[in-house]
Structure 1
Amino acid sequence: MTGMAQTYDAADGAGRQGNHSDHPGEQGAEDPVRLLEIREAPLSVDEVFAAVGDRAAGGTALFVGTVRNHDGGTDVARLGYSSHPSAEAELRRVAEKVVAEHPVRALAAVHRIGDLEVGDLAVVVAVSCPHRAEAFDACRKLIDDLKHEVPIWKHQTFSDGTEEWVGV
């Protein structure tokens, strides 16, 4: 059901997938998946935000994941991300699932791999929908499923010299 708008019955609040809406602008976009990429180059919030621009969207939610300076009470010096060759295909599967479950007008997700420093952007995702609550829900689903289902692994190096792999 990619590209289908979800309409709501005001009487009972039940959400339903469908082609019909009271307003043509709420019908699903032709191809709402606008940008999906796993890359070594630095990420741009502006690029991802621009990718989900849609005149029929009343809400856009954006999430930016950054490299923090600690984890589990230990100082992080740096980290590296690596991915399986299937990662982009899995990212597409996750994106299409979000589109099928939410009235997404546009969706974008970019994850960085390679060596990153504290403060660098690791992941940027955004979703635009007809309404803000839908955008928040779809964006949360997108980032949560990306982190749980896309084979991207984090190798943390701590300031005390110890290391750990996360997500393996």
Structure 2
Amino acid sequence: MTIVRQNTLNTTVSPSVSPPENLAEKYIEAERMHDVLLLLQNLINSEEATVKLILDCLYDVGSVNLINQKLRLKPLNRVMKLIARMSKPVFKTLALYWFKKNCPQLITNWLHTQVSFRKPLNTPQQVAIEVTELQPYSIPQRESLSQEIKNLRYQVRLLTVISITAIAILGVIATWLNSNP
């Protein structure tokens, strides 16, 4: 067993005793940041159509980029893009709910960090890390693990094909039912 010393940066500013003037300033600061939060919530509620359009654009760009990055097979890629277009209304509803619930606070916190002008202290701190030497797997264990990995990959591919086929069939049936009066 070996002990290795590693330097880390302490990113917290140590608290100090504040005079009453600083406490009043902190109270005013907290009150004003709460006002910013309320104003952002009001802005999001009054400009809901704009927020929906922004989320719509982000979904279009993000879904295509994610599908292109994760799926290299052309037929699978096309099917997933079709599914992504069909699931867009559900995404918009959920995204708008999440946006209204979380974004005003996230934006307020980010803005507060921008106007606080605090820099973290860069004092290195000694941290002891225990390093143990790993024993490699024996040859039979490696072969069985390799075979198990191959089996799992095959199962993942099979489940992916089954899932995509089922979703495609469900989409075709839904489209067919909607087109028949």
Fold shared by both chains (TM-score > 0.5): no
The structure that is strand-richer by fraction is: 1
Q: Bigger radius of gyration, 1 or 2?
A: 2
The structure that is helix-richer by fraction is: 2
Output the TM-score relative to the length of structure 1. Answer: 0.28
